[in-house]
Amino acid sequence: MSVLVDRDKETGVAIVTLNRPERLNAVDLDTADQLSSLWRELRFDDTVRAVVLTGAGERAFCTGIDRSAEVPQPSSPYSTDDPLIAIGPKANDLWKPVIAAVRGMACGGAFYLLGEAEFVIAAEDATFFDPHTTYGMVSAYESMYLALRMPHGEAARLALMGTAERMSARRAYEIGFVSEVAPPGGELVAATRCAEAIASFPTEAVQGTVRSLWAAKETTLAAAHARAPGFVALGNLPAARQAELFSARRSGEFRVR
């Protein structure tokens, strides 16, 4: 299984782990289906009152869509199917609190998940970036999530700088995108500690608060997402040219701020 879940009935906390460390926890179509199914399953599991979301291994939380995945697309330029649009908890109507524990890289499609988490705890070695522009792709959905979680200038810089720059966990904390920075390996402990505290509170009050917080921004996000397919269709380079850029780009050419 590329998504693992460990449920602790005593504490009411489930730890969900993206389990593809050999692929830097990139999301293929099967993983996307597993995530969507799991969030919907957790809606009905009353023993789970809070969730921690993390990635296996030390190198990455998630690096977005697996580039080896073949995503069928309709021929119409007015329609674009996004394989990651339903991988997050809110997209699947889960209103139990989700805390993300990030170590290593979190980039691209990882923001679908981080954008729908209540808050993020990161290891000191975590980095955040969005490679879309480097490879001739529009950062649409990802940027929309970012714009709701950090100051506009920071979201714009992260999205536009592509692979040339990565945001450090410390900088992410300074701008409020990350709520706590922990020693490497301690991010999961810190996130679980928070989840256990939240899970000990009355469920209805907790879920009502989650729903209230999301209500403050979901209308804006829904309106933005409705326009995203057009931006992608107009701005993306042909797939063959994207592949050329991806192959030509050498790794390691970035600065961390």
The average pLDDT across 87-101 equals 98
Q: 251: pLDDT confidence band, cut at 50, 70 and 90?
A: low
Give, in order, the Cα–Cα distances in Å from 54 to each of 62, 196, 254. 9, 16, 25
User: In whole angstroms, what is the distance from residue 254 CA to residue 257 CA?
Assistant: 10
Other C-beta atoms within 10 Å of 234: how many?
9
Residue/partner pairs of 227-233 with CB below 8 Å, 24 or more apart: 228/82, 228/140, 228/141, 228/144, 229/78, 229/79, 229/80, 229/82, 229/140, 230/78, 231/138, 231/140, 232/80, 232/82, 232/137, 232/138, 232/140, 233/77, 233/78, 233/80
pLDDT at 92 over 80: yes
- Give this prediction's pTM: 0.94
Give the count of beta carbons closer than 10 Å to the beta carbon of residue 228: 19
pLDDT at 15 over 80: yes
Neighbour tally for 106: CB within 10 Å: 30
**Predicted pLDDT at 250:** 62
Q: How confident is the model at residue 68 (pLDDT cuts 50, 70, 90)?
A: confident
For the chain, domain boundaries: 3-73+82-199
pLDDT, tens digit (0-9, with 9 covering 90-100), for 141-169? 999 999 999 999 999 999 999 999 999 99
50 within 8 A of 199, measured Cβ to Cβ: yes
Q: Which CATH architecture has domain 3-73+82-199?
A: Alpha-Beta Complex (3.90)
Confidence of residue 182 (pLDDT cuts 50, 70, 90): very high
Give the H or E element holding residue 51: strand 50-55
Provide the pLDDT confidence category of residue 28 given band limits of 50, 70 and 90. very high
- Average pLDDT across the chain, whole number: 94
pLDDT exceeds cutoff 80 at 176: yes
